[in-house]
Amino acid sequence: MTTTPVEALLAAARRHGADHADAILVRDESESALVRKGVPEGIERSESVALGLRVFRGKRAATVSTSVLNEAEFDRLAEQACAMALVVPEDQYAGLAEAALQGRFDAAGLDLECSSAPSMDDLLARAREAEDTALSFEGITNTNGASAGHGRTSVMLGTSAGFFGAYSRTGHSTSASVLAGEGATMQRDYAFRSAVHLEDLESPAVIGREAAERVLARINPGRPRTGTYSVIYDPRVSGTLLGHLVGAINGAAIARGTSFLKDSLGKQILSAGLTVHDDPRRIRGAASRPFDAEGCAALPLDLIADGILQTWLLDSRSGRQLNMPTNGRASRGVASPPSPSVTNLHLAAGTLSSEALRSDISEGILITELMGSSVNMLTGDYSRGASGFMIRNGEIAEPVAELTVAGNLKDMFARMIPGSDLMFRQSVNAPSIRIDGMNIAGL
């Protein structure tokens, strides 16, 4: 059997005195085309490869990386890593994952590789169609361009304890960004879609139309009066709330004591009936994987069930710190050690349509864009710039901008009401989310 770069690097680490080691190789290939007013402005093709080695000598660990896949260099790299590991401080929680799988593994059954490989002409045609569709709408005054791309990422991971795994994932994307209005009233908006398989990607015309309709709806925005409102987060931005939740239940943050949810395990943090689920086994999922960055089984997991926090996000190190087993959530780059993270995460849909979700709001705000961030993960205090639309008597009304939405995440999580409009378009997905009693700073 031909030796892979990962296996060769592990062998070099053993020769130079490593007690244990793991190695990861990541190879990326991509092509993209950007057009503006129909003229190509950016045609790119990139290929990169990176190889990372982590060695352990007792309770000391060191990580090194290279982009040179030359076995003659592996001895030098392994020697460097082993020498570094002798001089760094001991880490009592360091080590390979005890729960790592044994043997060879791949992504069979996850359907992560698309056979379609669009040519550059195909990408240019897709970008032009998206832009032409957007520009065909009356009121569109300019364009930031449209783009299309595709790529492939391959991952190979091995450990000195007998794990070896490899998988690849493809991706296709289309986007368009246009402007409407003139001068100080000019607005910009966009639409973007990505998918593992080209056949799952919405047509360029759909993406161009969405970009145009979104920006036309934003012309001449006002500012709401400062006050307390019921707020609905559009699905385009509602996933950011899950992002804050993920940060707050990250095992590394819990071990450091730097999360406002550090005492919430087993407690109600969302309304009864709500579920937050992470699924690395989702077929054609944007972040699906057969194993995590430590070679542990990647299995579906309810982080929150019936509103109750079930577990922290754990890799082996944070698990040891908290005296808990890893739940296979380790992620890593080639130049850094593993850390806990999610894969395909979503908040389960509720039963109310987007219309029903706002039907009893006499005056509220639909947030469609967020900017800036002032989120204190120690206290949960939350403040972000936003824009969107007023809600009046249950209907979407005039656009608003230059407002700030503020609250406390712990209180916000407890008041979240999800809509039924969940769609799986990214790695983190959520339906519309209503939160009553949010503080809005405007006029």
- Under the banding of pLDDT at 50, 70 and 90, the label for residue 56 is very high
Tell whether 337 is covered by a domain. Answer: no
**Confidence band (pLDDT; 50, 70, 90) for 2?**
low
> 46 burial class (0-12, 13-18, 19+ CB within 10 angstroms)?
exposed
Residues 212 and 230 in one domain: no
**Are 405 and 318 in a shared domain?**
no
Q: Is residue 166 part of a domain?
A: yes
pLDDT at residue 1 above 60? no
| Domain match, 390 and 272 both | no
Q: Find out whether 428 and 239 touch, Cβ atoms under 8 Å.
A: yes
In the DSSP assignment, the letter for residue 37 is: T
User: How much is the pTM?
Assistant: 0.94
Q: How many domains does the chain have?
A: 3
Verify that 236 and 373 share a domain, yes or no.
yes
Place of tokens 């402007």: 179
Lowest mean pLDDT among 69-83, 140-154, 194-208, 348-362: 69-83
The DSSP letter of residue 361 is -
Residues 426 and 385 in one domain: yes
pLDDT at 443: 87
Would residue 344 count as lying in a domain?
no
Q: Does residue 273 lie within any of the structural domains?
A: yes
* Token couple for 200: 């799952």
Whether residues 196 and 120 fall in one domain: yes
The span from the CA of 6 to the CA of 4, in Å, is 5
Separation of alpha carbons 113 and 357, rounded Å: 38
Read off the CATH number of the domain in which 188 is found.
3.30.2290.10
Domain, as residue range, for 364: 222-240+349-441
- Position 146 in a domain: yes
Same domain, yes or no, for 227 and 304? no
Residues 17 and 65 in one domain: yes
* Domain-located, residue 25: yes
If asked whether residues 47 and 142 sit together in one domain, one would say: yes
- Do both 110 and 128 map to the same domain? yes
Domain membership flag for residue 270:
yes
For the ranges 68-77, 134-143, 167-176, 418-427, which has the lowest average pLDDT? 68-77
Summarised one tens digit per residue, pLDDT across range 82-112 is 999 999 999 999 999 999 999 999 999 999 9
287, 305, 332 - which closes a domain: 332
| Contact status, residue 160 vs residue 168, Cβ threshold 8 Å | no
Residues 226 and 164 in one domain: no
Domain boundary among 267, 299, 332: 332
In terms of domains, do 143 and 263 share one? no
Q: What are the C-alpha distances in Å from 22 to residues 17, 70, 108, 128?
A: 14, 18, 23, 45
